[in-house]
Amino acid sequence: MKTKMFTAVALAFALAAPALAKTAPVDRLTTTMPDGKPGLILKGVIVPAGYETFYLSGQLPDPIDPAKTATIDDFGDTKTQTLSTLSKIKAILASKGYALGDVVKMQAFLAADPKLGKIDFAGFNAGFKEYFGSAENPSTLARSTFQVANLVAPMFLVELEVTAVKPAK
């Protein structure tokens, strides 16, 4: 009788253990600047077992005025497009129960601003800093930035693709 009871209790604990186990935190490998401050982006991210992953397709900015969508002026400069795209990404993530702090990886595609004759990397980073490493979202992410000849249409200067993770339910 004691053996059967012990077996039943042991089985109950074994079945409950995964539910009781706390999910390990995401390991964000920070960079350090020469002045000792944390870097803008991470060296990398390690996502332990037990996380759900959301791969968000590349997102483009929305026009400043939805009635106007034909020229680059209707979408703004690189910083404006970055802010628009990150706002859109934030909303899409929220619709699935994620937050910007859950983003672990970003791929940024930047096209040259015809007014500058080159990509506006500083403008992109200025917009990025309003969403990552900010007071509202102190976390940052692993990021790759690519200069591309063109995006899908000439008015677009920025396309962003992100991966977010959160503990699985």
Per-residue pLDDT of the chain (169 residues; tens, 9 = 90+): 555 544 444 444 444 444 445 779 999 999 999 999 888 999 999 999 999 999 999 999 999 999 988 899 999 999 999 999 999 999 999 999 999 999 999 999 999 999 999 999 999 999 999 999 999 999 999 999 999 999 999 999 999 999 999 999 8
| Separation CA 77–CA 65 (nearest Å) | 14
Question: What's the confidence (pLDDT) of residue 4?
Answer: 56
Give the strand pairing for 103-111 and 142-148: parallel
| Separation CA 123–CA 79 (nearest Å) | 5
Question: What's the confidence (pLDDT) of residue 21?
Answer: 55
| Separation CA 72–CA 81 (nearest Å) | 10
Number of residues written out for the chain = 169
Query: pTM (2 decimals)?
Result: 0.85
Summarised one tens digit per residue, pLDDT across range 48-64 is: 999 999 999 999 999 99
Helix and strand element counts for the chain (H, E): 3, 6
Summarised one tens digit per residue, pLDDT across range 136-164 is: 999 999 999 999 999 999 999 999 999 99
CB atoms closer than 10 angstroms to residue 158: 30
CA angle at 78 for the pair 85 and 92, rounded to the nearest 5°: 5
- 107 membership: H or E segment, kind and range: strand 103-111
Question: What's the confidence (pLDDT) of residue 3?
Answer: 53
Instruction: For residue 162, give both structure tokens.
Output: 């992100």
- Chain centroid to Cα 30, Å, comes to 16
Fold of 23-167: 60s Ribosomal Protein L30; Chain: A; (3.30.1330)
User: What crossing angle do the helices spanning 78-95 and 121-129 adopt, rounded to 10°?
Assistant: 40
Question: 3-class DSSP state for residue 119?
Answer: coil
